[in-house]
Amino acid sequence: MNPGFERVPSSWHEQIINLLAERVVIVDREGIILYINEAYCEFIGTTVEKALGRPAMEVIENSRMHIVAKTGEKELASLQPINGSEMIANRFPLFENGEVVGGLGTVMFRNPEEWRMYQSKIQHLVEELKYYQTKIQKDMRSKYSFQDLIGTSSAFLAAKELAKRISNSNSSVLLIGESGTGKELFAHAMHDNSVRCFSPFVAINCASIPEHLLESELYGYEEGAFTGAKKGGKKGQFEHANGGTLFLDEIGDMPLSMQSKLLRVLQEKEVRRVGGHKSIPVDVRIIAATHRDLEKLVEEGNFRQDLYYRLNVIKIQIPPLRKRSEDIPLISRSLLKKLEKRFYRKGIELSNEVQEKLMEHTWPGNIRELENVLERCINVIDGKTIQLNHLPLYLRDQEPKRDRQDHLKPVINAKTDVTSLPVQPLKETIALVEKQAIHQALAVTDGNKLEAAKLLGISKTSFYEKCKLYDVK
DSSP string covering 436-452, please?
HHHHHHHHHTTT-HHHH
**Topology of 3-110 in CATH?**
Beta-Lactamase (3.30.450)
Could you give phi then psi for residue 211, rounded to 5 degrees? Answer: -55, -40
Q: Is the pLDDT of residue 320 over 50?
A: yes
The model's confidence at residue 411, banded by pLDDT at 50, 70 and 90, is: very low
Burial class (CB in 10 A: 0-12, 13-18, 19+), 293: middle
Q: Is the pLDDT of residue 244 over 70?
A: yes
Q: Is the pLDDT of residue 415 over 50?
A: no
| Angle made by CA atoms 146, 282, 218, in degrees to the nearest 5 | 80
User: For the chain, what are the domain ranges?
Assistant: 3-110, 146-317, 324-396, 401-469
Q: CATH assignment of 401-469, given 2.60.40, 1.10.10, 3.90.1530, 1.20.950?
A: 1.10.10
Using one digit for the tens of pLDDT, what is the confidence trace for 47-82? 999 999 999 999 999 999 999 999 999 998 888 887
Cα(342)–Cα(327) distance, integer angstroms: 23
Q: Is the pLDDT of residue 235 over 50?
A: yes
Q: What is the pLDDT of residue 310?
A: 94
Q: What is the mean pLDDT of the chain?
A: 84
Q: What is the pLDDT of residue 40?
A: 87
Q: Is the pLDDT of residue 473 over 80?
A: no
Q: Is the pLDDT of residue 405 over 90?
A: no
Burial class (CB in 10 A: 0-12, 13-18, 19+), 230: exposed
- Give the residue, 43 or 445, on which the prediction is more confident: 43
Q: What is the pLDDT of residue 399?
A: 62
Give me Rg for the CA atoms of the chain: 38
- Give the residue, 162 or 455, on which the prediction is more confident: 162
Helices (H) and strands (E) in the chain, counts: 21, 16
Provide, rounded to the nearest whole percent, the portion of the chain with pLDDT above 90: 51
Q: How many CB atoms neighbour CB 437 within 10 A?
A: 19
Which residue, 10, 39, 34, 9, is CA-closest to 22?
39
Q: Is the pLDDT of residue 413 over 70?
A: no
Provide, rounded to the nearest whole percent, the portion of the chain with pLDDT above 70: 84
- Give the residue, 165 or 409, on which the prediction is more confident: 165
> DSSP secondary-structure letter at 274?
B
For the four alpha carbons of 348, 352, 357 and 359, in that order, the dihedral sign comes to positive
Q: What is the mean pLDDT of residues 407-436?
A: 61
Question: What are the angstrom distances between the C-alpha of 411 and each of 154, 358, 417, 428?
Answer: 32, 27, 10, 20
341: three-class secondary structure by DSSP: helix
Q: Is the pLDDT of residue 412 over 50?
A: no
The model's confidence at residue 414, banded by pLDDT at 50, 70 and 90, is: very low
Q: How many CB atoms neighbour CB 368 within 10 A?
A: 15
Q: How many CB atoms neighbour CB 256 within 10 A?
A: 11
426: three-class secondary structure by DSSP: helix
Contact 80, 89 (CB under 8 A): yes
Using one digit for the tens of pLDDT, what is the confidence trace for 339-350? 998 888 889 999
Q: What is the pLDDT of residue 138?
A: 56
Using one digit for the tens of pLDDT, what is the confidence trace for 86-123? 778 889 999 998 899 999 998 876 555 665 665 565 56
CATH, domain range 324-396: 1.10.8.60
Using one digit for the tens of pLDDT, what is the confidence trace for 301-312? 999 999 999 999
Domain 146-317 part of CATH 3.40.50.620: no
> 290-294, 307-311, 440-444: lowest mean pLDDT where?
440-444
